[in-house]
Structure 1
């Protein structure tokens, strides 16, 4: 099989390339990324002609996504929504038989209780955050796209938050900003974790999501798949990993703090993103388990421990998105949340 992977140098992309490379059914992996890297074809999904790059592929795995600049949502809209639409249409024009797109738990409409949702839960996102708006919009676009291209098998992966050690610095940079001292995130140094009522979310290790993507590529499947590991993460769970105690804090207080930090340009994550996280549903992953024969290899505790270790160590990898922790002054000087 010949597989084209967009966003091949990012958190999910590096994992997917590893997983596909270990599968004997996959002979060729064409890695696409916006910035130059060894063994990578440089291609910008916003402006380059993608059809020649996708022609002859047995599947396209679309992972390219721009989280920053959060303060310029028109910029992320062009890259994420319009760029993804260009990838989808190029795949159809090139005659690719399968498209695997990584959507997100963030595409789902809010649900406050803990009853797990299956893949037929509405995907209207949360309107207050660019990330969830963009993911939800692409779900609607794919609904129409599939109707126009019934012979193209479209798979939508909807994972929880995706972590691995080598992505720790990238995720600190994208969501927490340069003022968070990762070296202090260790048991014994954080005495208290705010227990925000209603805050809970699901995660999955990058390699486990990548394994699900590999299975979706190599098996005759289509449709959406929820991907997450257990248990569900909440403040008490995180406190247990850090050896800390919890103290109840109203969500409104935390949101006000996030809003203040955002307005002061101290963090790149907007208060709208906090609102979205507070409304995420819990995922039912039984379809992936039955149709992909998929099971996560790591639980939430192991995944978070690995990520926190990477955060303490300033871990990264030899790609531009996953660059290790060495440029905090650059983050500050260019404006927190202002640069891609």
Structure 2
């Protein structure tokens, strides 16, 4: 008998893509796809069950199908159908609690994989330049999706302690982008003009949606020799991009605003539901976030196909041309930078002379 895999969040783009991939695995006997709504397209080869993981019925599903591998992809920043922030939090936190409670009682579950996020680290001025899996945030998230993933991971750690016989894998994804991305950050980059924080140019990291599907499949499979499919792993493409580089590659100009003004703009966009421009996203666009991926490569045994730059290029191509031609915008910005560099030596020389004079007087 092959494995029986249960996938939550199967109606979403990433969930449905993972289901279509895992049903082709010869080591998998059955795939049980679960979500609140029907997927846009039939999930051929899988059994779809319309169910709410916040309800006790999820326990009956695990028992009836003798599920041994659970892949929890329903932790998300956006609602699956309508609803607001409250419904998202309930699905993320209450849904995970109920699912873990059902897994704890199930004698057949042997592997649990959960889609988390690097949002768990937060974003603040005093944070380290690069986060490792053991980095503790300076300030715990106070709300939004970041708080959701922090709570979800806390419940998962508790489950791992109570069921040491279950291999638990937490995948902390950087910002997910790609042609089909439907995240708040993807919506932000789709704006004709990008509001930014005046005086800040944060470093950002991305992971391609194709790599997300591949690494989830790896984590849900039996470990290969020399790898370990349990633990917590940062997942991101190589390299970083600054927000200004992103805007140039999109051909979209930026509108630098003072932080209070940007906060007001974000609140206004959320009020009219034009964009989920949350406080945590504003912090990301102020301070940025970069994670180390050594564990992903050396322990999990995964190497992304896309770099951060390659991921963003694929995303940008799917969004079409912005208000300004990217090449012309890049040349203009580079020319402006050259002009600044031309003036820099003189200023530096004056400063150096002044420091030398001060030293002589001392």
TM-score, normalising length: structure 1:
0.76
Q: Contact (CA 8 Å) 2:113, 2:169: kept in 1 or not?
A: yes
**Are residues 1:47 and 2:55 paired?**
yes
Q: Secondary structure at the match of 2:113?
A: strand
Q: Contact (CA 8 Å) 2:76, 2:145: kept in 1 or not?
A: no
How far residue 6 of structure 1 moved from its aligned partner, in angstroms, is: 0.5
CA distance in 2, matches of 1:125, 1:136: 12
Match of residue 179, structure 2, among 146, 165, 180: 165
CA distance in 1, matches of 2:229, 2:218: 9
How far residue 34 of structure 1 moved from its aligned partner, in angstroms, is: 1.0
Q: Secondary structure at the match of 1:166?
A: coil
Tell me the alpha carbon deviations over residues 126-154 of structure 1, each in whole angstroms, 9 at most, x when there is no partner: 53432111111112222222221111111
Q: Contact (CA 8 Å) 2:146, 2:280: kept in 1 or not?
A: no
- Structure 1 residues 199 and 253, CA, compared in 2 at 3 Å: closer, same or farther? farther
- Structure 1 residues 267 and 49, CA, compared in 2 at 3 Å: closer, same or farther? same
- Structure 1 residues 42 and 134, CA, compared in 2 at 3 Å: closer, same or farther? same
Higher relative contact order (CA 8 A, sep 6+): 1
CA distance in 2, matches of 1:7, 1:63: 5
For 1:106, the equivalent position in structure 2 comes to 119
**Are residues 1:256 and 2:272 paired?**
no
How far residue 42 of structure 1 moved from its aligned partner, in angstroms, is: 1.0
CA distance in 2, matches of 1:194, 1:269: 12
How far residue 105 of structure 1 moved from its aligned partner, in angstroms, is: 0.5
CA distance in 2, matches of 1:143, 1:198: 35
For 1:63, the equivalent position in structure 2 comes to 73
CA distance in 2, matches of 1:199, 1:14: 32
**Are residues 1:242 and 2:256 paired?**
no
CA distance in 2, matches of 1:247, 1:273: 16
**Are residues 1:33 and 2:35 paired?**
yes
Considering only CA atoms, is the larger Rg found in Structure 1 or Structure 2?
2
How far residue 71 of structure 1 moved from its aligned partner, in angstroms, is: 8.4
Number of aligned residue pairs = 301
CA distance in 1, matches of 2:155, 2:24: 32
Q: Secondary structure at the match of 2:150?
A: helix
Q: Contact (CA 8 Å) 1:195, 1:236: kept in 2 or not?
A: no
Q: Secondary structure at the match of 2:26?
A: coil
- Structure 1 residues 141 and 267, CA, compared in 2 at 3 Å: closer, same or farther? same
Residues 268-279 of structure 1 mapped to structure 2, 5 A cutoff = 268-275=276-283, 278-279=286-287
- Structure 1 residues 283 and 263, CA, compared in 2 at 3 Å: closer, same or farther? same
How far residue 257 of structure 1 moved from its aligned partner, in angstroms, is: 2.5
Q: Contact (CA 8 Å) 1:101, 1:155: kept in 2 or not?
A: yes
For 2:97, the equivalent position in structure 1 comes to 85
**Are residues 1:215 and 2:218 paired?**
yes
- Structure 1 residues 3 and 152, CA, compared in 2 at 3 Å: closer, same or farther? same
Q: Secondary structure at the match of 1:50?
A: helix
TM-score, normalising length: structure 2:
0.72
Tell me the alpha carbon deviations over residues 266-309 of structure 1, each in whole angstroms, 9 at most, x when there is no partner: 43333344235545531111101012221110122332232233
Residues 182-331 of structure 1 mapped to structure 2, 5 A cutoff = 194=196, 197-218=200-221, 219=223, 220-243=228-251, 249-275=257-283, 278-279=286-287, 281-312=289-320
Q: Contact (CA 8 Å) 2:243, 2:285: kept in 1 or not?
A: no
For 2:17, the equivalent position in structure 1 comes to 15
For 1:317, the equivalent position in structure 2 comes to none
The alignment yields a C-alpha RMSD, in angstroms, of 3.2
- Structure 1 residues 86 and 259, CA, compared in 2 at 3 Å: closer, same or farther? same
Q: Secondary structure at the match of 2:203?
A: coil
